[in-house]
Amino acid sequence: LAGAERSQPVEASPAIDSMRLTGEAAGLQALQREIGSAPASIDVEKVNQVRAALADGSYRIDAQQIADRLLAFENELLK
């Protein structure tokens, strides 16, 4: 009788995975969905202006503006 039990197939229990997103991850997912659904619009004139400024060396980077926008982005993620 014991040998008969071993010859029967063993059923595996289904694997149950779970995942919990942090608030930041959920915010990033929402932002990704929002960006993904937005129409892609490229300001060709602006792109050409930046290319020209890069080519002639007149393009300047405003570090304060970059920092301000990074902070605003971080604040949006925390909401």
> Residue 57: left (phi > 0), alpha (psi -120 to 50), or beta?
left
**Amino acid of residue 2:** A
Block means of pLDDT (10 residues each) for the chain, length 79 residues?
Answer: 62 73 84 80 91 96 96 91
Q: What is the pLDDT of residue 5?
A: 59
Distance CA 39, CA 70 (A): 23
Identify the residue whose tokens are 């997103």.
Answer: 21
Name the residue ranges covered by the structural domains of the chain.
16-78
pLDDT, residue 2, reads: 54
pLDDT at residue 24 in the model: 86
Q: Global pTM?
A: 0.37
Chain center to CA of 16: 25
CA angle 36, 46, 67 (to 5 degrees): 70
